[in-house]
Amino acid sequence: MMRFFLLLAFLLSVSLSYADTLYLNMGRGFSPLVADGSGILCNTSCHEKTFPIPFALSGRSFSLSMRLANKHGVADFSYAIECEEGSKSKVVNPAWGLRLCGRDGELTISFHPEVAHDILGGEGVNLRLNVESGDSIILSSVIKKHFSALGSNLLHLEIRGEEWMLDFGNDSRLNKFSFSLPLQEMTPESVQLILQPGAMIDLSWLSIATPEEICSPEVMEVMTIADILENSADPICGLWELYDFTIQDDLLSIPSKLRIALLPDGDDGYSLYYVGGYKAGTPWKPGMKKGRLCPSSFRDIYDVVWMDASMNGMSEGITATTAEYPIIALQFTPQSSLLRFRRVEEQVRRKTLTP
């Protein structure tokens, strides 16, 4: 029976690994964008300035994330620019954004500061999000909350065929947008950051990846997971709960009571299934596959593929170590985050997995 469940788990496993990835962060790998590696992108000219991202897109499925701060995000404040002939001028509300380029067209996503007036007569800052394809405006929306005008914000863009999903904000309550674009109108092959005259952004990090397959996680019945755990003598195969953590990245969005099950995948690694911890209303349900632990060339260390709270695959710079068993530590190096899981005792495990 045990062999049957292991074989079933192996046959059902779906690779969440990425075919190609790029990760750039301040002080490491920024040379393709900024010569001094500072992460500061600035446009003091009177023409739009572009910063190509050194990554070739293939097809219509990819994921892009970055954390940045708009240093010139004060609405209606004047910023100096200089044209080629030496004349100086000033601009207000300089925009920044992304441009996706393909043989069949371009798509521009831009953010424009705007003055916001409250009912008491005070002033603040809103952001206008524009999504344009050629001469057509696909989406125009005002962002009024969950972002910082001058501070750090997170941007996440994901494309799945004709569906485009954009998240933007400064905490776990991101502003979410989505739109559709027919395949024949735009197949992106490259992406670049764009700065309008007077714009300045501080780019902390940027990652982009083309997955082999983007899909919702597979699901295994919780009782099937319980049966596999009950019959396994593997010390890693078991139920694990979050013991402590350090999180520096909103994309992870880890619940404090997260529980996972690790099951052998038949290839010296382990499939990782979500068991509980997320609040009601989230897309995560018990039994969904949340990642994999893949053996590396080092003892007690595994390469990790992880699905974040939004069900986006992550694999760059993520490792797990079992050297402190019964503690398993997951290190997310690009996100400067650490998760430590503790093995759950058998009595608690039975109670957790029994309906």
pLDDT, one tens digit per residue, over 62-107 is: 888 888 899 998 888 889 988 877 788 899 999 999 999 987 789 9
- Pair (247, 296) in one structural domain: yes
Q: Using only C-alpha atoms, what is the Rg of the chain?
A: 23
Q: Where a domain ends, among 211, 235, 254?
A: 211
> pLDDT at position 260, please?
94
CATH number at residue 25: 2.60.120.560
Q: Where a domain ends, among 211, 226, 246?
A: 211
DSSP classification of residue 344? P
Residues 6+ apart with CB under 8 A from 118: 124
- Pair (198, 229) in one structural domain: no
Q: Where a domain ends, among 166, 196, 211?
A: 211
- Pair (265, 280) in one structural domain: yes
> pLDDT at position 255, please?
82
Rounded average pLDDT over 296-312: 81
- The two beta strands, 200-211 and 18-25, are antiparallel
pTM above 0.75, yes or no: no
Q: Which domain holds residue 346?
A: 2-16+215-353
> pLDDT at position 12, please?
32
% of residues, the chain, pLDDT over 90:
27
- Pair (256, 200) in one structural domain: no
Name the domain count of the chain. Answer: 2
Rounded to the nearest integer, the mean pLDDT of the chain is: 80
- Pair (171, 251) in one structural domain: no
- Pair (125, 75) in one structural domain: yes
- Pair (11, 24) in one structural domain: no
CATH number at residue 246: 2.40.128
- Pair (200, 138) in one structural domain: yes
Residue 85, token pair as written in the block: 């002939």
Per residue in 154-207, pLDDT (tens digit) is 898 888 777 888 989 876 568 888 888 775 667 888 999 999 999 999 988 888
Q: Which residue do the tokens 């007690």 mark?
A: 300
Rounded average pLDDT over 210-221: 62
